[in-house]
Amino acid sequence: MTDAAIAARGLEKRFGPVAALRGIDLDVPVATTLAVLGPNGAGKSTLLRLVAGLARPSAGTLRVGNPSDDRRRTRGRVGYLAHASFLYPALTARENLIFAARLYGVLDPRRRAAELLEAQGLAAVADRPAGGFSRGMAQRLAIARGLVHDPSIVLLDEPYTGLDRAAAHALTGRLRELRAAGRTLVLVTHELSRACELADRAIVLARGRIVHAAEGPGLALDTLERAYLASVESAA
């Protein structure tokens, strides 16, 4: 357990009487990619929020990152890309990134912002207010913001939403780069094909529980698809 980037035992999250997550046991080794699949309402986003530190577990244990780090340091090591973009519409793309960089204590925020803008193909619109961005552009900017502090653990909640072919392709490339650089990734996605493409391991959540786990040959698309449908059906 000590060498896993993320480790959960008996993790539970309740909202009043409703249990969004129950009995989650999970190990995500460092530098691996985990795909989290499941139907809507299964608890995928809740799991990610817990790992990101935005919510506290109702029961069980959850360790993220280095056990000797305190909460603040751990926050500095995690990058979280949610459905919401965390962007300020009145600020330009560049300013949004500079602000995020300063928030995370990144050295030389201007240079970092320029780098990221370039990498995400946003250099042309760098000085336009983020409020005017199209869905795809905003998503790309949000991705840049999430990575501004070069986190060792990256959490992505359905990052492909709103991206066109080219942008999706670029994102996949980016994720591959992060993998190659030894980052730990947790990817929540609807599309099984993404999981097969990018992940080392996949879990399927349904009604708050892990109903299937797959890796290696289990991550071939048709195998995964069959297992997914079967496990989700039986949980319903």
Partner 1 sequence: MNVLLAVLWKDLVSEWRTRDRIVSMLLFSILVVVVFHFALPADASQLLQTGAAGLLWVAYLFASVLGLNRAFALELENEALSGLALAPADRGWIFLGKAAANALLLFLVQAVTALAFALAFDVGLGAVALRFAVVMALGALGLSSVGTLFAAVAVRTRYREVMLPLLLLPVMIPILLGAVRASAALLEHGTLPSAELRLLVVADVAFLIVSFVLFEYVLDE
Partner 2 sequence: MQAGVLDRAAANLRTPSLWALLALSGLYAVAVLTAPEDAVQGVIQKILYVHPACAFAAYLGFGLTALGGALYLWRDDEQYDRLALASAEVGVVFCTLVILTGPIWARGTWGRWWSWDPRLTVTLLLWFVYLAYLLLRSFTEGSTRAARFAAVYGIAGVLAIPLNYFAIDLFGGRAIHPENLGRGSLGAGMGFPFALGMVTVLLAFFHLLARRLELEGLRAHDAFAEPALRSGPARAEGSWPT
Q: Which does 73 bind (CB under 5 to 8 A by kind): partner 2, partner 1, none?
A: partner 1
Q: Cβ 52 to partner 2, closest distance in Å?
A: 9
Tell me if 95 contacts partner 1 by CB under 8 A: yes
Tell me the window of 89-97, 113-121, 172-180, 226-234 that interacts with partner 1 (CB under 8 A): 89-97
CA–CA separation, 139 vs 146, rounded Å?
A: 10
Nearer to partner 1, 155 or 178 (CB): 155
Residues in a beta bridge with 79: 154
At 67, phi and psi to the nearest 5? -65, -25
Contact status, residue 32 vs residue 9, Cβ threshold 8 Å: no
Residue 59 near residue 37 (C-beta atoms within 8 A): no
Query: According to the binding rule CB under 8 A, does residue 128 interact with partner 1?
Result: no
Check binding of 91 to partner 1 (CB under 8 A).
yes
To partner 2, the closest distance from the beta carbon of 143 in angstroms equals 24
Burial classification of residue 23, based on how many CB atoms lie within 10 Å of its CB (0-12 exposed, 13-18 middle, 19 or more buried): middle
Interior/surface letters 203-216, b for 16+ CB within 10 angstroms, e for the rest:
bbbbbbbbbbebee
Q: Which of 2, 17, 216, 222 binds partner 2 (CB under 8 A)?
A: 17
* Close Cβ partners of 188 (under 8 Å, ≥ 6 residues apart): 35, 36, 37, 44, 45, 47, 48, 156, 157, 158
CA pair distance 141, 167, nearest whole angstrom:
11
Provide, rounded to whole angstroms, the least separation between the CB of residue 188 and partner 2. Answer: 18
- The answer to whether the Cα torsion of 78, 25, 83, 165 is positive or negative is positive
Q: Considering the complex, state which of residue 184 and residue 189 has its C-beta at the smaller distance from partner 2.
A: 184
Confirm or reject binding of residue 67 to partner 1 (CB under 8 A): no
C-alpha dihedral, 7 to 58 to 86 to 138, nearest 10°? 70
Q: Is 110 in the site for partner 1 (CB under 8 A)?
A: no
Residue 104 in contact with partner 1, rule: CB under 8 A = yes
66-105 residues in contact with partner 2 (CB under 8 A) are 67, 69, 71, 74
Binding track, positions 28-67, relative to partner 2; x by CB under 8 A: ----------------------x--x--xxxxxxxxxx-x
Q: Is 86 in the site for partner 1 (CB under 8 A)?
A: yes
Name the residues that contact partner 2, by CB under 8 A.
Answer: 9-10, 12, 14-17, 19, 22-23, 50, 53, 56-65, 67, 69, 71, 74
Name the residues that contact partner 1, by CB under 8 A.
Answer: 52-56, 72-76, 78, 80, 82, 84-91, 95, 99-100, 102-105, 129, 145
